Amino acid sequence: MQPLYTASAEANWANNIDISEDNAANAGRVDAELARWATQTGSCAEGSLWKDVEVQKRALDMILNVGPAALEAEEYKTYNSILQQMQAHYSTATVAIENDYSGNNVDLGEIEEIMYIDAGKGSDQNYEQMRHLWEGWHNTADVQKENYTHFVELSNKGVINSDMGHADTGAYWRSWYEDPDFEKNMENLWSEVSEIYQKLFFYVRGRMSAHYGEERVAAKEAMPAHIFGNMWAQDWSALYPFVVPHPEAGERPDATDALSGKTEKEMFEMADQFFQGLGLPAMTNTFWEKSQLTKKDNMVCHASAWDFFVGDALSATEADGDYRIKQCTVKTHSDFVTVHHEMGHIQYYQNHAAQPIVFRNGANPGFHEAIGDTIALSVNTPAYLQKIGLLDGVTESPEADLNYLMQTALTKIGFLPFGYVTDLWRWKVFSGDTKPEQYQSSWTALRNEYQGIVPPVARDDAVNFDAAAKFHIPNNTPYIRYFISHVLQFQFYEKMCDAAGHKDELYKCSFADSKPAGELLKTILTPGNSKDAATILKEVGIEKMSADALKKYFEPLLTYLDTANKDYDTTFPSSSKWMPCAAGECPAKNDESGSTTVPGETTTSGTMPTIFSSIILALFALLW
């Protein structure tokens, strides 16, 4: 079993580091071998006499739950081939810059950089360039629809063939959470956080309408999806200059300038020191030898952490194991936080390495994401960044605190509906409630209903497939884990801060160098998924997932928003038919120069070229 897991990880790593037909074919072959093993083992396990023993039964149930791997060999080969085609298309897609006739296109990383800068400048010209790039990138996904439709059919067939009682792939994914009421509980969790999101939405919409004018951002309608400086409107941090509560209280904390004097490896070494300060294991020699920490040609840049299942798991020590991170690291504040997030995944791998291989995973996928994000909340505090020499002259005042909370909310709260909607859409696709001819309209409607946004240009079910413009759709990575993480991380954070003896406001807590906080974290990490998530939560004093800790963290900001929103409309546009003025037809409003190009021109193999990438990749590297 272990050699097959390792071989699969090695083959897929090679294909992520160097996308090629040969590497893709090899990854497909190895994954097919692993799938055959899983189905054969599942058949044997089904009749096992061990089923009456609780731990063995849990392990056997996991072995049996093989999902699409239950496809016949040729169909599984087709399944893998389609997946690789979709991944390759996404990773190599480019868009032409408007009015650039050089023939040089820009890739997604460069597009994100340009859009982030444009969003922060906010001129009429910036608005139109963002619209052009939004449309161009989303149009690259149109050709994915046929492949995706076939992929869904095969995935569902494999899940049904597995005879685990799952009606479709969505049900299979939800089974990982071991909660028979999972959909209802996610709906309830959304109800808890939606009020918080809407408070931020009303405030941002009011500010942006005042800036751009009614024709570009209507004060009582949905916001156009392209203005946020993020391709999916899941991270609003680029809008900070327009929504900062107290500009006079100083600039937002940003470590980018200090990081420019460090190497990418040094950024990872600083993260390693943070975890060691909690009493957690150091990164292994193999980690430093084999990780890919900078961008290279033909590489999948989406940051990810990998476990290669090397060594005898039952006698694993802190020094054992092959763990790696793949990241096109840029020396920015945002990527510094992402480095800690990804290393949080590695810590999970290291801490549960002594479990039998079937239990070497997170308690559920949301736990894995929440660990890295919990660490990031501590690392991102101005006090900690000042302590490690990445910030100077941090201002301490209620006004500066509100600015910091706004900066954090634009990323954390702004993300919540997208984290929920992405799999809500996929569950409907897998169940057949959303047909292929409805892919686009269903995606648009759900994002309108929950996010309050609309496409900036007309979209058509017969042509467009905007959902596939997000990495996790063509990569077939479930997404509800990120919604769960964005709630659960605040609960973990609160408990670790309590363990560290923190007595001040929650948002000021850094648990760096706290061994008690590290011990609490080990309680979460060490079992892997040998225990269900509910049991592990109770062991650290959490009765259930709730938004209470998130509300506590943002309490001063929520109070501020209640007052500020008296100046703005507070009707949420859940079924808006509004569209912004068409390109070339908008009245002049902010006509100062705002053109943005990538210095040195842009090619698909170029690196991200300027320091302005600070914060733009937040959540783009979310997590694997």
Which amino acid, 532?
D
Q: What's CA 311's distance to the chain center, in Å? A: 30
- Residue 51 carries which DSSP code? G
Question: Partners of 325 in the beta sheet?
Answer: 305
Q: Which of 472, 486, 494, 502 is catalytic?
A: 472
The first and second tokens of residue 273, run together, are: 């020191």
Q: Which residue has the tokens 């939800």?
A: 174
Which residue pairs from 34-37 have beta carbons closer than 8 angstroms and sit at least 24 positions apart in sequence?
Answer: 34/4, 34/5, 34/7, 34/8, 34/69, 35/66, 35/68, 35/69, 35/71, 35/76, 36/73, 37/1, 37/4
The first and second tokens of residue 345, run together, are: 């995944």
- Provide CB contacts within 8 A for 32, sequence distance 6+: 73, 76, 77, 80
* Inter-residue contact 236 to 120 (CB < 8 Å): no
Q: Is 369 annotated in some ligand binding site?
A: yes
Question: Under DSSP, is residue 326 helix (H, G, I), strand (E, B) or coil?
Answer: strand
* Alpha helices (H) in 432-569, listed in sequence order: 439-451, 480-499, 515-525, 533-539, 548-553, 555-564
The first and second tokens of residue 335, run together, are: 């990527």
Rounded CA separation 359/518 (Å): 21
Q: Is 341 annotated in some ligand binding site?
A: yes
- Residue 568 carries which DSSP code? S
* Inter-residue contact 6 to 62 (CB < 8 Å): no
Rounded CA separation 426/151 (Å): 12
- Residue 452 carries which DSSP code? -
Q: Which residue has the tokens 């020590």?
A: 317
CA pseudo-torsion sign 424, 32, 64, 10: negative
* Inter-residue contact 8 to 30 (CB < 8 Å): yes
* ∠ Cα 619 329 611 (to 5°): 90
- The phi and psi torsions of 608 (rounded to 5 degrees) equal -70, 125
Q: Which of 110, 135, 342, 494 is catalytic?
A: 342
DSSP count for the chain of H helices, then E strands? 23, 6
**342 annotated active-site:** yes
**Alpha carbon separation from 433 to 419, 427, 438, 567 (Å, rounded):** 20, 9, 9, 41
**251 annotated active-site:** no
**CA nearest neighbour of 416 among 233, 208, 264, 161:** 233
* Inter-residue contact 318 to 601 (CB < 8 Å): no
Q: Is 345 annotated in some ligand binding site?
A: yes
Rounded CA separation 444/421 (Å): 10
Rounded CA separation 88/94 (Å): 12
DSSP-derived secondary structure for 582-603:
PTT-SPPS--S------TT---
**Alpha carbon separation from 21 to 14, 24, 81 (Å, rounded):** 11, 5, 10
Binding positions for chloride are 177, 481
Which residue numbers are catalytic?
342, 472
Binding positions for Zn(2+) are 341, 345, 369
Binding positions are 177, 341, 345, 369, 481
